[in-house]
Amino acid sequence: MSNSNTPHIILASSSAYRKELLSRLQLPFISISPEIDETPKPNEQPEETAIRLAQEKAEAIGLTNPNAIIIGSDQVATLNGAQIGKPGNHYTALAQLKTMRGKTVIFHTALCVLDNRTSHQIQIANCQTLVQVRELSDAELDAYLHIEKPYDCAGSAKNEGLGIALLQSVQSDDPTALTGLPLIALTSMLRNLNVTFFNSVH
């Protein structure tokens, strides 16, 4: 458990998935939704979009929250180099899944940790995950969407839920990156800021 020396930590996100992931570290934190434009810039590479947005989220929250460590993250899914956004509705999600089946989708999950206390140090990482999608029928894909309704997820599937059944394989150095917050990279960054995870309770 954390102690009284744990710094003030803010997750620059309204995502329930990222909140759940960060809570695994058993550090006290609050979540604040950053109000930024997430539209990709012209000719911007997918990993560039993810990294830029992760940093912009952290910096947006940092403007009004001094003396805190701020965590920003963003994820961009790509197929054949083209970005796949959040579908927003059933029709778009079904079209996405039909396009993705039998193919490899690359998820870029960017992470930015801003130390807004004294140094204003910024640490950035991009965790890449390769996902092979199963060859499934239109009926199966439609049924999945009606069950889980993953319309707020890039790629139209929740790998932490029933969406795992859509996947043939997942390749990544960080198993939490696909869900939206790469905890291995995050714990390394927090350690660089002298955040501890295993304080003695005796």
Which residue among the candidates 74, 142, 173, 174 is catalytic per the annotation? 74
Cα 17 to the center of its chain, rounded Å: 8
Nearest to 47 by CA among 103, 114, 128: 128
- On whether the CB atoms of residues 6 and 195 are closer than 8 A, the answer is yes
Active site annotation includes 74: yes
DSSP 136-160: --HHHHHHHHHHH--TTSTTS--TT
Distance CA 160, CA 100 (A): 18
Inter-CA distances, 131 with 14, 24, 25, 56, 198, Å: 25, 24, 26, 27, 33
SS3 content of the chain, % helix, strand, coil (to 5): 30, 25, 45
Catalytically active residues are 74
